[in-house]
Structure 1
Amino acid sequence: MRVAAVNDLSGFGKCSLLADISVLSSMGIEVCPVPTAVLTAQTGFSSYYMHDTGDMVQHSKEEWSKMGVTFDGVLTGYMPSEEMAGSVLDFVNTFNREGAVLLVDPVMGDGGKCYSNYSDAMLAKIKDLAATADIITPNLTEACLLAGAELAATGSKAPAGESAEGASDTFASDVASDEIAEIALKGAASEADRDRIVEIARRARAHAEQTVVVTGIPGEGDELYNLVVYGDKYEYICGKTNGRSYSGTGDLFAALLLGNILNGLEIVDAVKAASSFICEAIAATTSDDRNYGVDFEKVLRRI
């Protein structure tokens, strides 16, 4: 099996393409990377250099089309700009054949705040891209943004973030909207909250056949949920957190989920397996600095 992974490549942070390639290769799946940008370190660090490689998306589309190659899956992640999101949509439309699985991670913000590259135009492009997907994996903030423009009032912003677990200076200084902030920070603390998040997830999807996995939903105490909405069904999958957040866990989750699906697991079992791996990787991590990511290398052998 073969997957095209469209994402950035960061020297430090254990995220994005590094996570995609490591996980999917360990699952026996060939990975063909398409770098949207190359960074010295993921954007949660106080200093980093980013080199835009957006032309690689177009060149990869053209050259791979000449080769006549096909993909069993396509995975998309961080988009530095709305123009990049448009190029990635063109790439996806070229290679998203019948029977392939397209997973879109709509990276736009977290914790009720938007990343600095977010705009209404970016949201529109991400929505167009997400509409083509079989599976989308937003966090709760991103699910709110996808669910409806009436929720998406934009505030001032700080450097763009690549993962739901980036450092605090990754985020906007103002919330995306008061409602989104309230939902994102409260999470699934009560049954009413959980019901509301299910409705948000249903509104976030482009059509009833699309699967939405809302990731990293805080619960009570050390509880952390992933919500799967598929068809007219849904299921909350509860895990435990150590109270710390890390760079790259969203990227790891997306790659694990796609790999599990391609290897034959049903969606709920695929999410459970991905969630279990993330919990093990966090437990194996010795660093307190979340910018460096989790020590997933220590547990790769289990997949």
Structure 2
Amino acid sequence: MKGRVLIAAGSDSGGGAGIQADIKTVTALGGYAATAITALTAQDTHTVHAIHEIPVDFIAEQFRLTVADIGVDAIKTGMLHKRAVIETVVRCIDDHGKGALVVVDPVMVAKGGARLLDADTTDVVIAELLPRADVLTPNLPEAAVLADMPIEDLDAMKRAAERLLGFGPKAVLLKGGHLKGARLTDLLATADGFEVFEGRRIDTPHTHGTGCTTASAIATGLAQGMPLRAAVERARAYVLEAIRTAPGYGSGHGPLNHAHTVRD
């Protein structure tokens, strides 16, 4: 076991996304997962039915105690649904996360369409959270909101990624799963330029938690000392196989097979 990843995100009672997907991913890739849970959700493979708030002081205490005792190599943020939660996690990163690499998954909308981020918080995400990110991992709808522009092709992805880099993250992995076509195109943008990753698209409804899983897989690689490109490549391969071998649970957007690396 190598690489300590502290995940600040919400819990998914269905187990396909959120904290549950994060813990499974980090563990399946040989890392150590710890958590600062930001919210509890009651959800299934169709939608989020309810959200239970976690007091921000308790979020901060989870973060502080974990880092003080266990330490941290990488921090991954997921569902930070309110301004006060974002501000709390940002303070925790500054106060307790020194030396840790930060992967920000700007979770805004669940797979079933439910909003997971208050509509009036985009400004604080841009001003406070993005400058602390070593890697930002938005999907196209999230990137379109943050960059304030439509994204309909690879050229637009590049323009949006440049705009997002301008907000302060050191790298942006723009996930192209919402584009149409048989090929899946992701774009990694850094100060050194762009790198395009292509792969085959799997026609399946069982893609719940792909964003959480990808970000946690990258965070695990970085926590283990992998260069960014290698961490991204491994994360993409891990997620592809997790989709390909998905168990088919649920009647909506089903979960992935996070355990495909586990062997009897």
TM-score, normalised to structure 2's length?
0.85
Report how far residue 50 of structure 1 moved.
2.6
1:265 and 2:226 aligned: yes
1:253 paired to 2:208: no
RMSD, aligned α-carbons: 2.6
1:239 aligns with 2:199: yes
Query: Does structure 1 residue 300 correspond to structure 2 residue 229?
Result: no
Deviation of 1:68 (Å): 5.9
Is the partner of 2:10 in helix, strand or coil? strand
The gaps in structure 1 that reach 5 residues or longer are 152-178, 187-192
CA contact (8 A) 2:29 2:261 kept: no
Match in the other structure for 1:227: 187
Separation (CA, whole Å) in 2 of partners of 1:89 and 1:197 = 27
Aligned counterpart, 2:129:
129
| Cα distance in 1 for residues equivalent to 2:165 and 2:110 | 18
Residue 217 of structure 1: how far off its partner (Å) = 3.7
* Bigger shift: residues 237-246 or 7-16: 237-246
Three-state SS of the structure 1 residue aligned to 2:14 is coil
1:31-50 to structure 2, matched below 5 A, reads 31-41=33-43, 45-46=46-47, 48-50=49-51
The answer to whether the Cα contact below 8 Å between 1:13 and 1:291 also exists between their aligned partners in 2 is: no
The alignment's TM-score, normalised by the length of structure 1, stands at: 0.75
Task: Give SS of 2:40's match.
Answer: strand
Given that 2:41 and 2:48 are in contact with CA atoms closer than 8 Å, whether structure 1 keeps it comes out as no
TM-fit CA distance, 1:53: 1.6
| Residue 26 (1) aligns with residue 4 (2) | no
SS of 2:49 mapped into structure 1: coil
Instruction: Indicate the percent of aligned positions where both proteins have the same amino acid.
Output: 22
Structure-2 residue corresponding to 1:172 = none
Q: Where do residues 181-220 of structure 1 align in structure 2 (5 Å cutoff)? A: 183=151, 186=152, 193-206=153-166, 210-219=170-179
Partner in structure 2 of residue 6 of structure 1: 8
- How far apart are residue 69 of structure 1 and its match? 5.3
Higher relative contact order, structure no. (Cα contacts within 8 Å, ≥ 6 residues apart): 2
Give yes or no for contact 1:71–1:95 (8 Å, CA) kept in 2.
no
Q: 1: CA distance between counterparts of 2:171 and 2:47? A: 36
Pairs within 5 Å for 1:63-82: 63-64=65-66, 67=68, 70-82=71-83
Aligned length: 256
Matches within 5 A, 1:52-71: 52-55=53-56, 56-64=58-66, 67=68, 70-71=71-72
Alignment deviations for residues 51-93 of structure 1 (CA, whole Å, 9 cap, x no partner):
212432122245457x465311111001222221111111111
Give 1:221 shift: 2.8
The 5 A counterparts of 1:80-229 are 80-98=81-99, 100-109=100-109, 115=115, 117-119=117-119, 121-127=120-126, 128-147=128-147, 151=148, 180=150, 183=151, 186=152, 193-206=153-166, 210-219=170-179, 221-229=181-189
